[in-house]
Amino acid sequence: MYDLIASNKRRSIFLLIGFALILVVVGVAVGAVLGNPVFSVTVALIIAGTMSIVSYWKSDTIALTVSRAKPADEIEYKRLHNLVEGLCIASGLPKPRLYVIDDPAPNAFATGRNPKHAAVAVTSGLLEKLDRVELEGVLAHELSHIRNYDILVATLAVTLVGTIALLTDIAIRMMWWNGGRVSRQNDRQNTSNPLAFVGFALLIIAPLVARMMQATISRRRETLADVSACQITRYPPGLISALEKLQADSTVTHSASMATAHMWIEQPLSGVNDEGRLAGFHKLFNTHPPLSERIALLREM
């Protein structure tokens, strides 16, 4: 477990560096297309540095705000607070901030930069559809993410993936908006410059690479969090029953987005697990292993 925590801390650094490099590549691509590489790379470096700092200190707030999470009142959500307090005593963790999201789909996620600055958000659907033992299993899963420092990596990815997607979208839009304003001479130069074609290709590829990096962050860690949760509760059937209910429920989590999909306990968006000719391609972007595999693994414990 301690090796896993150390590995997650190292991966957090690699994640920051990786996304910063992608941002620089986007800057180079914009410069190649628009004909001003020095300016574009400088701007990309500034944005990469700024977003890395913001991601570390404020990405949990961003994730909670994007998900429309509200603080869980201790009186109204007494059962939730009691369960988390008991699990924190059992796991030796400080109690995280608790939030509730008004969404009928049963789901939950943890966020923050370390156990002392962490939060757990659950949907109203999760509180309504799970009994006490099942809810305890889900909360133990989220606390495992906190204990294993998964939350730092996952939370950093929220703002960094979103930044890359936003910058590439703005860059492509600027190309079209400025298309009629540049001179014919510059048009001929950009058209004859092979770097312009490479830059345009990079603008298209960069968000896809960022999404695949985001997906790889979560898949293995979800399985590890399941196992860790059972170590905390010492009752695997509770989490198994919860995952079976999540598997049977087809409600889409409307509070989730592509940027936060990897944080939830189950794949929150529809269409990602579609089968067919492109099933193999879709799996590259799956942020979670199939629930059936996770359930089968827990049954072997």
Active-site positions read: 142
User: Taking Cα atoms as reference points, which of 289, 228, 287, 227 lies closest to residue 263?
Assistant: 287
Per DSSP bridges, beta strands 108-114 and 97-101 are unpaired
Q: Which residues of 59-86 are buried (b: 16+ CB within 10 A; e: fewer)?
A: bbebbbebbebeebeeeebeebbebbee
Q: List, in sequence order, every residue forming a beta bridge with 117; answer none if it has no partner.
A: 114
C-alpha dist (Å) from residue 28 to 43, 45, 94, 203, 279 = 10, 10, 44, 10, 33
Structure tokens at 181: 């304003």
Cα distance between residue 183 and residue 189, in whole Å: 10
If you search the block for the tokens 């628009």, which residue do you land on?
Answer: 34
